[in-house]
Structure 1
Amino acid sequence: MFKIMMVEDDTKIRDIVLENLQRWGFEGVYVDDFDEVFNVFVKEKPHLVLMDINLPLFDGFYWCNKIREVSKVPVIFLSSRNTNMDIVMAINMGGDDFVQKPFSLDVLMAKINALIRRTYSYTDVSSDVLEYNGVVLNLKDSTVLHGEDKIELTKNEFKIIYILMKNNGTVVSRDKIMRSLWEDESFVDDNTLTVNINRLRKKLSDIGLDDFIKTKKGQGYIVS
């Protein structure tokens, strides 16, 4: 089932659209804390976003830009603002379509279905990010996002944090991590792993994640 995420400050419009999405067989989710739009996005992993422009705290252009840092998921802007500049800005900020309020539900659903078809007919719908406790790992460019901060990872650092985040809540042994690093046939010994873990921890510490990777003595590592 395709999931549609709605970022809309008008609860009446939000509820009507969500009800209509359900009728069409979509799963609808919405944001009720407008300071957490990005975090809700990475947690819910929607296949399409309906984004109002006028929002509390930050506007829809800001949140679309944040989403575009980690994903190419389709974004349709919904707004009562209808100047050419607003429409151009919406597209330039990464939006795929613009629907002016008040709008026809039939037209909106036609646009949603068309975008879903074009985007996912021949592609994998899996997410481009992993998220755990507010830490976002971008699988496409090997970066870590935490709040407004971003770090770039080496190939080995990426593989280490990927396997730890993929197995969040579980201790991952050093042997298992080293086996994942051997996939490209480059030999990684125990000391090399320690060096890579330490470098990764230093980078994470630089963006306020001092204890994200914990050592379980005699067992391995776990993210928390």
Structure 2
Amino acid sequence: MKRTILLVEDDMLMREVITDYFQKEQWDVLEAENGRIALDLFEQNSVDLVVLDIMMPEIDGWSVCRRIREKSDVPIMIITARAEDEDHLMGFELGADEYVTKPLSPRVLVARATALMKRTEGTVGREGDTLVYGQLTVNRAAYTVYVAGTKINLSPKEYELLLFLIKHYGKVLPREYILDAVWGYDYLGDLRTVDTHIKKLRAKLGDEGRSIATVIRSGYKFEMER
């Protein structure tokens, strides 16, 4: 199936190189050199993926991401030369699905975009009641979790944490972001709360607990080997 990407990048040379790589993989590419053009193109076309630079003239990438998220759940990949944790958190809070730091390899960018589309179009992330991945089954309507057919008893917070990790499949989530999203911004506990709950959740999931990976000096991500 041929997909359409909206590529938003003010560096003309970078934009041309990225476009060339996506077109070689049979993507249709809409190019925008600033945020205003990007929003116009998004309104006028059916887009499957947005690859969005942050530092742009007229309307910056944060504003473009926010305005797209107000009306669409299209996958968004942010690319930027800035690598600060605060920027990563900002992107996730605005609803970005992937975060890529420059300098980047166009070949790797296309591969990550393809993987993101496969995850988005797959079982995980759909709005259906049942999520299935490997031996793990989560029924969101019944609030139940099964591993290899055996029901697993989770606390409400463990259940909410698991759903949050699955929702962001393959994405590295900083501890601060997990704490704010699952426990709330006004929670007075520290980051060890996240670590403790992750440890308990892994233990209860048994062999499937390995799907919750620790990313050193970054956080956690949910990703299961196929």
Q: TM-score, normalised by structure 1?
A: 0.52
> Take 1:33 and 1:50, find their aligned partners in 2: how far apart are those partners?
12
CA offsets, 1:160-196, max 9 Å, x none? xxxxxxxxxxxxxxxxxxxxxxxxxxxxxxxxxxxxx
> Take 1:33 and 1:51, find their aligned partners in 2: how far apart are those partners?
10
Aligned partner of residue 35 in structure 1, secondary structure:
helix
Q: Which residue in the other structure is 1:117 paired with?
A: 118
> Take 1:70 and 1:34, find their aligned partners in 2: how far apart are those partners?
16
Q: Which residue in the other structure is 2:38 paired with?
A: 37
Q: Which residue in the other structure is 1:73 paired with?
A: 74
Which residue identity lines up with residue 30 of structure 2 in the other structure?
Answer: V
> Take 2:76 and 2:23, find their aligned partners in 1: how far apart are those partners?
19
Q: 1:1-224 maps to which residues of 2 (within 5 A)?
A: 1-32=2-33, 34-121=35-122
Which residue identity lines up with residue 115 of structure 1 in the other structure?
Answer: L
Higher Cα radius of gyration: 1
> Take 1:90 and 1:33, find their aligned partners in 2: how far apart are those partners?
18
Deviation at 1:59, TM superposition (A): 1.1
Deviation at 1:37, TM superposition (A): 2.2
Which residue identity lines up with residue 46 of structure 2 in the other structure?
Answer: K
Contact 2:4 2:47 in 1 (8 A): yes
Moved over 4 A (4+): none
Aligned partner of residue 71 in structure 1, secondary structure:
coil
Query: What CA RMSD, in Å, does the superposition of the two structures yield over aligned residues?
Result: 1.6
Q: TM-score, normalised by structure 2?
A: 0.52
> Take 2:91 and 2:35, find their aligned partners in 1: how far apart are those partners?
19
Unaligned stretches of 5+ residues in structure 1: 124-224
> Take 2:8 and 2:23, find their aligned partners in 1: how far apart are those partners?
16
Deviation at 1:39, TM superposition (A): 2.0
> Take 1:96 and 1:19, find their aligned partners in 2: how far apart are those partners?
23
Aligned partner of residue 45 in structure 1, secondary structure:
coil
> Take 2:38 and 2:78, find their aligned partners in 1: how far apart are those partners?
15
Q: Which residue in the other structure is 1:194 paired with?
A: none
Aligned partner of residue 96 in structure 2, secondary structure:
coil
> Take 1:91 and 1:57, find their aligned partners in 2: how far apart are those partners?
23
Contact 2:34 2:59 in 1 (8 A): no
Unaligned stretches of 5+ residues in structure 2: 125-226
Aligned partner of residue 104 in structure 2, secondary structure:
coil
> Take 1:20 and 1:28, find their aligned partners in 2: how far apart are those partners?
10
Deviation at 1:105, TM superposition (A): 2.0
> Take 2:81 and 2:21, find their aligned partners in 1: how far apart are those partners?
20
> Take 1:36 and 1:112, find their aligned partners in 2: how far apart are those partners?
22
Contact 2:11 2:33 in 1 (8 A): no
Q: Give the length in aligned residue pairs.
A: 123
CA offsets, 1:53-108, max 9 Å, x none? 00102210100010001110000001001111111111111110111111122321
CA offsets, 1:123-161, max 9 Å, x none? 9xxxxxxxxxxxxxxxxxxxxxxxxxxxxxxxxxxxxxx
> Take 1:17 and 1:33, find their aligned partners in 2: how far apart are those partners?
16
> Take 1:33 and 1:111, find their aligned partners in 2: how far apart are those partners?
23
Give the % identical residues: 31
Q: Which residue in the other structure is 1:189 paired with?
A: none
Aligned partner of residue 36 in structure 1, secondary structure:
helix
Deviation at 1:121, TM superposition (A): 4.0
